[in-house]
Amino acid sequence: MTLQTLNIGKANLEIFSATLMELAEKDRNILAVTSDSRGSGKLVPFGVKFPDQLVEVGIAEQNLVGVAAGLASAGKKVFAVSPACFLTTRSLEQIKNDVAYSNQPVTLVGISAGVSYGALGSTHHSLHDVAVLRAINNIRIVIPADNFETREAILAASESNKPIYLKFGKKAMPNLPRTQEKFEIGKASTICEGDDIAFIACGETVAPAYEAARILEGRGIGAEVISMHTINPLDKEAIIRIATKCKAVITVEEHCVNGGLGEACASLLMQEKLFIPFKIVGFPDEETITGSQTEIFNYYGISGEGLCQSALKLLDM
Amino acid sequence: MMQKYTDLELQVKSVNYRKSLLKYIKMANTGHTGGSLSCTDILNVLYNDVLNVSPEKFSDKNRDRYIQSKGHSVESLYVVLADQGFFPESDLETICKFQSKYVGHPTRKVNGIEFNTGALGHGLSISAGIALAAKKDNVDYKVYTLLGDGELAEGSNWEAAMMAAHYKLDNLVAILDHNTLQISGRNRDVCSPYPIDEKFEAFGWSVISVDGNSIPELREVFKKIPSEHEKPTLIIANTVKGKGVSFMEDVAKWHHGVPSDEQYALAMNELDHQYEKLISM
Sequence ranges of the domains in chain B: 7-279
Test A71 with B121 for CB contact under 8 angstroms.
no
Main-chain phi, psi angles of A11, to 5 degrees = -70, 140
- Shortest distance between the Cα of B213 and any Cα of chain A, in A, equals 29
Of A70, A72, A73, Cβ closest to residue B128: A70
Residue B281 — pLDDT band, cuts 50, 70, 90?
Answer: confident
d(CA B159, CA A298): 40
Test B122 with A58 for CB contact under 8 angstroms.
no
Question: What residue ranges do the domains of chain A occupy?
Answer: 8-173, 179-314
Residue B235 — pLDDT band, cuts 50, 70, 90?
Answer: very high
Test B121 with A103 for CB contact under 8 angstroms.
no
Asked if B74 reaches chain A (Cβ–Cβ under 8 Å), the answer is no
Main-chain phi, psi angles of B137, to 5 degrees = -90, 0
Residue B227 — pLDDT band, cuts 50, 70, 90?
Answer: confident
- Per the CB < 8 A criterion, the answer to whether B162 and B223 are in contact is no
What's the rounded mean pLDDT across residues B39-59? 97
Closest Cα in chain B to A97: B116
Residue B3 — pLDDT band, cuts 50, 70, 90?
Answer: confident
Q: Report the percentage of chain B scoring pLDDT > 70.
A: 99
- Per the CB < 8 A criterion, the answer to whether B233 and B225 are in contact is yes
Test B156 with A63 for CB contact under 8 angstroms.
yes
Distances, alpha carbon A191 to alpha carbons A246, A253, B103, B249, in Å: 15, 16, 47, 68
The residues pairing with A78 across neighbouring beta strands, listed in sequence order, are: A31, A106
d(CA A263, CA A246): 19
Test A66 with B115 for CB contact under 8 angstroms.
no
The answer on pLDDT for A1 being more than 60 is no
Average pLDDT value over all residues in chain A: 97
Angle at alpha carbon of residue B64, lines to B104 and B234, rounded to 5°: 80
Closest Cα in chain B to A102: B116
Test A71 with B130 for CB contact under 8 angstroms.
yes
Closest Cα in chain A to B124: A66
- Shortest distance between the Cα of B123 and any Cα of chain A, in A, equals 8
Tens-digit pLDDT profile for residues A28-49? 999 999 999 999 999 999 999 9
Burial of B265 (0-12, 13-18, 19+ CB in 10 A): exposed
Chain B environment of A71 (Cβ under 8 Å): 129-130, 132-133
CA diameter of chain B: 54
What's the rounded mean pLDDT across residues B201-226? 97
d(CA A154, CA A120): 28
- Per the CB < 8 A criterion, the answer to whether A251 and A40 are in contact is no
Burial of B191 (0-12, 13-18, 19+ CB in 10 A): exposed
Asked if B196 reaches chain A (Cβ–Cβ under 8 Å), the answer is no
Among A113, A177, A108, A117, which residue's Cα sits nearest to residue A149?
A: A177
Prediction pTM value: 0.96
CA diameter of chain A: 60
The answer on pLDDT for B234 being more than 70 is yes
Closest Cα in chain A to B161: A63
Of B116, B128, B156, Cβ closest to residue A101: B116
The CATH topology of domain B7-279 is: Rossmann fold (3.40.50)
Of A52, A58, A60, Cβ closest to residue B136: A52
Among B221, B229, B116, which residue's Cα sits nearest to residue B175?
A: B221
What's the rounded mean pLDDT across residues B57-68? 96
Test A71 with B156 for CB contact under 8 angstroms.
no
Asked if B142 reaches chain A (Cβ–Cβ under 8 Å), the answer is no
Q: How many CB atoms lie within 10 A of CB B144?
A: 25
Among A133, A86, A147, A96, which residue's Cα sits nearest to residue A231?
A: A133
Tens-digit pLDDT profile for residues B179-195? 999 999 999 999 999 99
Asked if B124 reaches chain A (Cβ–Cβ under 8 Å), the answer is yes
Q: Coil, strand or helix: which one is A255? A: strand
Closest Cα in chain A to B166: A57
Angle at alpha carbon of residue A110, lines to A108 and A115, rounded to 5°: 160
User: Which of B66, B114, B127, B159 would best serve as a mutation to test chain A binding (most A beta carbons within 10 A)?
Assistant: B159
What's the rounded mean pLDDT across residues A50-74? 98
The CATH topology of domain A179-314 is: Rossmann fold (3.40.50)
Pure H helices in chain A: 12-26, 44-49, 61-73, 84-87, 92-94, 129-134, 147-158, 206-218, 236-245, 261-271, 293-299, 304-314
User: Which of A56, A63, A91 would best serve as a mutation to test chain B binding (most B beta carbons within 10 A)?
Assistant: A63
Pairing of β A189-192 and β A197-201: unpaired
Closest Cα in chain B to A52: B136
> Is the domain covering A8-173 a CATH 3.40.50.970 domain?
yes
Among B11, B93, B79, which residue's Cα sits nearest to residue B45?
A: B11
Edge-to-edge strands of the sheet including B65-68? Answer: B65-68, B143-148, B172-178, B233-238, B206-211
d(CA A311, CA A314): 5
Q: Coil, strand or helix: which one is A80? A: strand
Same topology between domain A8-173 and domain A179-314: yes
Main-chain phi, psi angles of A207, to 5 degrees = -60, -50
Angle at alpha carbon of residue B115, lines to B222 and A74, rounded to 5°: 80
The answer on pLDDT for B1 being more than 60 is no
Among A238, A242, A261, which residue's Cα sits nearest to residue A251?
A: A261
The answer on pLDDT for B2 being more than 80 is no
Supply the ipTM of this predicted assembly. 0.96
- Per the CB < 8 A criterion, the answer to whether B96 and B26 are in contact is no
